[in-house]
């Protein structure tokens, strides 16, 4: 399967990255990683890019890593649409202090606009 | 504090627990503040959530199954503020505030942090005015404790709940995805 993983700068993105690497390793998917441009996140686009590079190389995975500029949701869906991807993978939400699952604006945009199957990683 | 936008005007004059009111089905409902959320009152609240119809879950809470319910309540118990509604011996409604803080032990002034609110009423007791009363009693109790900033999220399509929160004084904070975030400033 041809998988596109979208990463913003949050902890949920790190979880999505780790789980997707595991899965790719197990089943031999083709993986492309898109690092999104998003303001006010825990990690900058550059830090996230390096983190992805590091974890992929530790796992000995040969995956393309792309930086996408502009609105994170729109650029990710656009990139997915231009390529030949079977699945788009993103983080599956954050947990509030109460324990409620919260989906952010990127998730909502991707779910409502992506032409491919979308996987939310928890 | 976060970047949430709160209403310009503060809301006040909410009833504080303990108090007893008759609901719209003439049931005597008692509203009680919980000092320590443990022991009997915790057990009674777990029991309420075991009975709770999962159709009315919101964003993954309450969890299902007694073990997961107890885990969830014990996780939030220590630093939370709780008011329960009782009919006779049974807890039939629960409203709670949890501090939005990475290090709740270090909170010196409860007015310095924002508190996330959740409220659940057992199905057989819904649509009888208990939810509104329970919510007001929790806010009344919060004011007594010195809490000023309270927020919540509610599924965007849950218009009855949003209308209820608005009547009490909550306003949208500016964050709106599948969940509508709302905040209230307390007097």
Note whether B98 contacts A: Cβ–Cβ < 8 A. Answer: yes
Q: pLDDT tens for residues A42-59? A: 899 999 999 999 999 999
Residues of B in contact with A97 (CB under 8 A): 76, 98-101, 116
Taking 90 as the threshold, does the pLDDT of residue B175 lie above it? Answer: no
Q: What is the structure's pLDDT at A84? A: 94
> Which CATH number does the domain housing residue A76 bear?
3.40.50.620
State which residue of chain B sits closest to A110, comparing Cα positions. B177
Cβ neighbours around A43 below 10 Å, total: 19
The residue ranking higher by pLDDT, A9 or B91, is B91
| Domain with A74 in it | 2-121
Q: What is the structure's pLDDT at B2? A: 74
Residues of A in contact with B37 (CB under 8 A): none
Q: Are strands A87-91 and A2-7 parallel, antiparallel or unpaired?
A: parallel
Q: Rounded CA gap, B8 and B185, in Å?
A: 8
Q: Rounded CA gap, B31 and B17, in Å?
A: 6
Number of domains comprising chain A: 1
Q: What is the structure's pLDDT at B5? A: 93
C-beta separation of A7 from A16 below 8 A: yes
Domain ranges across chain B: 19-148
B59 and A97 in contact by Cβ < 8 A? no
Taking 90 as the threshold, does the pLDDT of residue B117 lie above it? Answer: yes
- Its CATH class, for the domain covering B19-148, is alpha beta
B177 and A102 in contact by Cβ < 8 A? yes
Which element (helix H / strand E) includes B163?
A: helix B159-168
Taking 90 as the threshold, does the pLDDT of residue B1 lie above it? Answer: no
Q: Are strands B19-22 and B28-34 parallel, antiparallel or unpaired?
A: antiparallel
Note whether B76 contacts A: Cβ–Cβ < 8 A. Answer: yes
- Three-state SS annotation for B6-61: CCCCCECCCCCCCEEEECCCCCEEEEEEECCCCHHHHHHHHHHHHHCCHHHCECCE
B76 and A98 in contact by Cβ < 8 A? yes
Determine what percent of chain A is predicted with pLDDT higher than 90.
91
Q: pLDDT tens for residues B18-30? A: 999 999 999 999 9
A97 and B96 in contact by Cβ < 8 A? no
Q: pLDDT tens for residues B5-15? A: 999 999 999 99
C-beta separation of A119 from A87 below 8 A: yes
Taking 90 as the threshold, does the pLDDT of residue B176 lie above it? Answer: no
* Residue B3 pLDDT grade (very low, low, confident, very high; cuts 50, 70, 90): confident
Q: pLDDT tens for residues B29-70? A: 999 999 999 999 999 999 999 999 999 999 999 999 999 999
Interface test with A, best of B59, B120, B149 (most A CBs within 10 A): B59
Taking 90 as the threshold, does the pLDDT of residue B174 lie above it? Answer: no
Q: What is the structure's pLDDT at A112? A: 95
């Amino acid at each position: 399967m041809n998988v596109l993983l979208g990463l913003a700068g949050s902890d949920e993105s790190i979880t999505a990255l780790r789980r997707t690497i595991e899965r790719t390793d197990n089943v031999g998917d083709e993986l492309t990683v898109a690092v999104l441009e998003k303001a006010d996140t825990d990690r900058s686009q550059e830090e996230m890019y390096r983190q992805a590079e590091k974890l992929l190389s530790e796992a000995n995975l040969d995956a393309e890593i792309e930086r996408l500029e502009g609105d994170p949701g729109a650029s990710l869906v656009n990139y997915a649409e231009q390529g030949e991807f079977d699945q788009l993978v993103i983080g599956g939400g954050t947990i509030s202090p109460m324990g409620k699952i919260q989906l952010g604006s990127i998730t909502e945009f991707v779910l409502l606009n992506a032409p491919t199957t979308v996987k939310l990683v928890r | 504090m976060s970047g949430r936008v709160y209403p310009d005007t503060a809301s006040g004059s909410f009833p504080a627990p303990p108090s007893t009111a008759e609901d719209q089905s003439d049931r005597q409902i008692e509203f009680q503040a919980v000092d320590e959320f443990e022991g009997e009152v915790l057990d009674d609240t777990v029991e309420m959530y075991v009975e709770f119809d999962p159709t009315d879950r919101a964003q993954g809470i309450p969890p299902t199954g007694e073990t997961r319910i107890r885990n969830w309540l014990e996780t939030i118990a220590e630093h939370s503020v709780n008011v329960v509604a009782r009919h006779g011996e049974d807890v039939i409604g629960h409203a709670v505030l949890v501090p939005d803080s990475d290090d709740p032990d270090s909170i010196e002034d409860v007015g310095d942090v924002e508190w996330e609110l959740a409220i659940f009423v057992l199905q057989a007791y819904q649509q009888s005015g208990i939810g509104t009363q329970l919510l007001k009693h929790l806010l009344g109790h919060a004011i007594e404790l010195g809490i000023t900033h309270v927020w919540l999220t509610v599924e965007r399509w849950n218009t009855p709940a949003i209308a209820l929160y608005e009547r009490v004084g909550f306003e949208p904070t500016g964050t709106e995805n599948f969940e509508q975030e709302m905040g209230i400033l307390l007097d």
